Structure 1
Amino acid sequence: MSSSVEGVRGDVAEGFGAVHDAFRDALAGDAGSGAALSIRRDGELVVDLAGGVAQPRTGAPWTLDTPSVIFSCTKGLMSVLVARLVEEGRLGYATPVAELWPEFAAAGKEGATVRDAVSHRAGLPAPRTDWTPADILDWDRATALLAAETPLFAPGSAWSYHAITHGWLTGELVRRVTGETPGAYFARTVTGPLGADAWIGLPAAEQDRVAHLQVGGTLAALVAEQRAAYEAGASVWPYRAMTLGGALPPELVGEDAGFNRADVRAAQIPGAGGVSTAHALATIWSAVVAETGGVRLLGDEILTRATEVQSEGAPYFPVPWPWPRWGMGFQLDSEARRYLGSSSLGHDGAGGQVAFADRDAKVGFAFLTNRMEAVDDRATRIVDALRAVL
């Protein structure tokens, strides 16, 4: 049935009214931003909603076809690509990265494995020297800098969230194995077969469709607090993991900065730069666990392997609890990010983006918003409503 709530566009299947209401509530109280929610169950679309404003400058509404930057949800997509290559026998989680990427052996990283690279154990969460905006736009430059980098801790000995660098680690592995850029391989093997509007490296023809991102109050306050803490002597590395020392603003966006820039969205930055509609993202995650549009992206055996816990507990560089849990790049259910339960896998993203699949419920889920907050339970309340419905 179609939504009858003013400002909410789209459809919801019978029995999912509580999920619709949770989405409506997520939009309430902020007339200047928007969001979208899409959910599939057993491959079939059960929720497809959008509301609010995609372009605050023009007042253009957020529609079901509006794409937005998905930030670290991109890491989940890259983890799907890596898992496909492992499933096909073209890559192994235990393989040393340097066997595929010889330059990576520099500075004591010769023993780092694919497992280390995907599960935030490579020792490269942030660079020791400052990167520039030009560095992140150039694939060869970014991967060469990362390959030459001295790790901040011995690879495999601990974990620390590789907020941006994760994408070049996984992306260069994809490139070395397939001969294709991650964006091209993603298009050929995932979005093409599914007919999904999602990209790693946004084409010029799609740029005008993308939602404009805004920094919410809680995110602005968190960045100010972090900056003050680091200036007072706290560890700078988690902060540098987001900025790379100057390549990106700590909020990841500005009015005309970071991922609001067309050239940044066009570049392949697979740690944070994917662009997708919620509809497409839910379709992809659905196809991870259930046949969707005739496509199944991963089999049950590789899913079992890829969701074994690799990293959990306190990270190498202290950050406040709660801490997430990771499989082979997949973010698992934890107190830091509640999904449906122990059979869920996915990845959230900066500012409130959430995308995941659930193996038991055969669900693919995506919530996207252009009002970026740090203290944010919008998606959590929607997931809670979905869990109750199921």
Structure 2
Amino acid sequence: MHTVVSGYSDRGYERLTKVFGRVWSGGLGGGALAVFDNGVPVVDIWCGNRDARGEQPWTESTAAVIYSASKGLSSIVIHRLADRGLIDYDNPVAEYWPDFAAEGKSDITVRQVLSHTAGLSALSGMSRSVHDALDHELMQRRLASSRRDELAGKPAYHALTIGWLLAGIAKHVTGKDMRTLYQDELCAPLGLTQLSLGTPRPPVQVADYVDPRRVFTAVARDNLLARGTRFPAALGGASCRALYMGPGTARMVATSPEKYLTGTQMPAANAISTARDLGRVYAALATDGRVGADRLLSAERVRMFDGERRWQRDRVIGLPMSWNLGFHRSPVPGLAPGFGHVGLSGCFGWADVNSGLSVGFVHNRLPSTLVGDLGAFLWLVPLALRGQRAARRLGGPGATATDMPVAS
């Protein structure tokens, strides 16, 4: 059996292309992968199917909901505003958003929000139903009027709340919602047409999500999440409280994103992108803030993202995490160098300043293989780095290929 990988890749990246093709050889959804070397595209490939029936092939303009990989993009919006002197990371959020000072939160800083230490990770109590969570303005108001929880000051993944917090800060600084800011602060500077917060622009097609082994659908049941919110933090309660939006949570996550996620603004979870556009954003973070002639951020700002390496156990995720200004490193130090953000399904954007390499990976398979899907960056990033070294041994870019058959 052969799987056809469409697109192109430079010489040296054959191993990466072959492994990528094998991922989709069983008809289990589809995806796309883009790699940039110092801002130059060296891999742009896609494979598999974009619909749940396995009948429609993934194409060059197929995009996917990237879940928590959205957080990296929403953080970059804040960094763009900071670059212009509109935001200081160490200023209190309430300086920009006065209502946020309620319930003793006047000292929480923007930096604490970006590092998941603001003590506002718990969604339960703020969202009584999925419909509440789909109303981004309502969620911003509830966060502003809420009190911090017992995990304040400790790393505790703000799985959904960080998106509304960043949107609230940005709205009070610019007067614009986060969907508009995605266009103004991410797409316009880099000339992107296949990236959006929620509803994409034609001809972009949003892939259906598939759960081929039904593991995720079985695990993410409302009754399990609701029961878990009553557990102590150490027994998984913190994780459930950060994820449970109310009745209908599992259905929203496990069904077609067109029905629930494309129409709202959930800046921590519903960005939609092709691998190419996601990789191009991170290409600016892997260099000096530019991609070719297009500048996204100042070189000084970008240098901040590859800062101090401190791994601490995250009270929600349960893994050692190194958070810095909205990005994270590999929970396994040294295995995938660089920083970025991975989403629920394993989609991710990644940058490595030492090599100048950036990677964008999107797909439509819910994490039925759990470790395999969520840890995709742990093997794709090293493979991309190996390809970069091979390409340089070969003397730079070579002939590209399209419609490549890959044995599976």
Is 2:271 aligned against 1:274?
A: yes
Note closer, same or farther for the CA distance 1:235–1:226 as it changes in structure 2 (3 Å cut). Answer: farther
345, 348, 359: which is aligned to 1:365? Answer: 359
Q: Give distance in 1, aligned partners of 2:7 and 2:76.
A: 28
Q: Give distance in 2, aligned partners of 1:188 and 1:231.
A: 38
User: Unpaired runs of 5+ in structure 1?
Assistant: none
Q: 1:137 offset after TM fit, Å?
A: 2.6
Q: Give distance in 2, aligned partners of 1:311 and 1:172.
A: 28
Is 2:138 aligned against 1:136?
A: no
Q: 1:204 offset after TM fit, Å?
A: 7.1
3-state SS, counterpart of residue 360 of structure 2? strand
Note closer, same or farther for the CA distance 1:261–1:114 as it changes in structure 2 (3 Å cut). Answer: same
Letter of the structure 1 residue corresponding to residue 246 of structure 2 = G
Other-structure match for 2:397: none
Letter of the structure 1 residue corresponding to residue 351 of structure 2 = A
3-state SS, counterpart of residue 75 of structure 2? helix
Tell me the C-alpha RMSD between the 2 structures: 2.6
Q: Deviations over 1:6-37 (max 9, x none)?
A: 42111111111111112112223x31411110
3-state SS, counterpart of residue 341 of structure 2? strand
3-state SS, counterpart of residue 7 of structure 1? strand
The answer on whether the counterparts of 2:80 and 2:185 sit within 8 Å (CA) in structure 1 is no
The answer on whether the counterparts of 1:136 and 1:247 sit within 8 Å (CA) in structure 2 is no
Q: 1:83 offset after TM fit, Å?
A: 1.5
Other-structure match for 1:53: 49
Note closer, same or farther for the CA distance 1:252–1:161 as it changes in structure 2 (3 Å cut). Answer: farther
The answer on whether the counterparts of 1:204 and 1:266 sit within 8 Å (CA) in structure 2 is no
Which stretch shows the higher mean deviation, 347-356 or 286-295? 286-295
Note closer, same or farther for the CA distance 1:368–1:204 as it changes in structure 2 (3 Å cut). Answer: closer
Letter of the structure 2 residue corresponding to residue 300 of structure 1 = A
Aligned structure 1 segments of 4 or more residues deviating by more than 6 angstroms: none
The answer on whether the counterparts of 2:130 and 2:245 sit within 8 Å (CA) in structure 1 is no
Other-structure match for 2:191: 195
Letter of the structure 1 residue corresponding to residue 91 of structure 2 = T
Other-structure match for 1:347: 341
3-state SS, counterpart of residue 68 of structure 1? strand
Letter of the structure 1 residue corresponding to residue 365 of structure 2 = R
Query: Aligned ranges for residues 18-37 of structure 1 at < 5 Å?
Result: 18-28=15-25, 30-37=26-33
Q: 1:134 offset after TM fit, Å?
A: 2.2
109, 112, 128: which is aligned to 1:113? Answer: 109
Other-structure match for 2:59: 63
Determine which structure has greater relative contact order: mean sequence separation of CA pairs < 8 Å that are 6+ residues apart, divided by chain length.
2
The answer on whether the counterparts of 2:28 and 2:212 sit within 8 Å (CA) in structure 1 is no
The answer on whether the counterparts of 1:200 and 1:274 sit within 8 Å (CA) in structure 2 is yes
Q: Deviations over 1:292-331 (max 9, x none)?
A: 24212122321232443487412345x54x3221101111
Task: State the identity as a percent.
Answer: 27
Q: Give distance in 2, aligned partners of 1:336 and 1:133.
A: 36
Note closer, same or farther for the CA distance 1:175–1:119 as it changes in structure 2 (3 Å cut). Answer: same
Q: 1:245 offset after TM fit, Å?
A: 3.3
Q: 1:225 offset after TM fit, Å?
A: 12
The answer on whether the counterparts of 2:155 and 2:312 sit within 8 Å (CA) in structure 1 is no
The answer on whether the counterparts of 1:70 and 1:353 sit within 8 Å (CA) in structure 2 is yes
Is 2:236 aligned against 1:239?
A: no
